Amino acid sequence: MLNIAETLNRWCREARPSALATVVDVRGSAPVPTGTSVAVDAESYAVGTWGWSRTAGGCWRSCSVCAPPGWTGP
pTM across the whole model: 0.64
Q: What element of type H or E holds 40? A: strand 37-41
For residue range 53-72, what is the model confidence (pLDDT) as tens digits?
A: 555 666 666 665 565 555 55
How many whole angstroms from its chain centre is CA 18?
8
CA distance 74 to 68: 14
Q: How many residues does the chain have?
A: 74
For residue range 22-37, what is the model confidence (pLDDT) as tens digits?
A: 888 877 777 778 888 8
Q: Enumerate residues 6+ apart whose C-beta is below 8 A from 53.
A: 31
For residue range 34-44, what is the model confidence (pLDDT) as tens digits?
A: 888 888 887 77
Q: Which residue has the higher pLDDT, 14 or 70?
A: 14
CA distance 34 to 26: 6
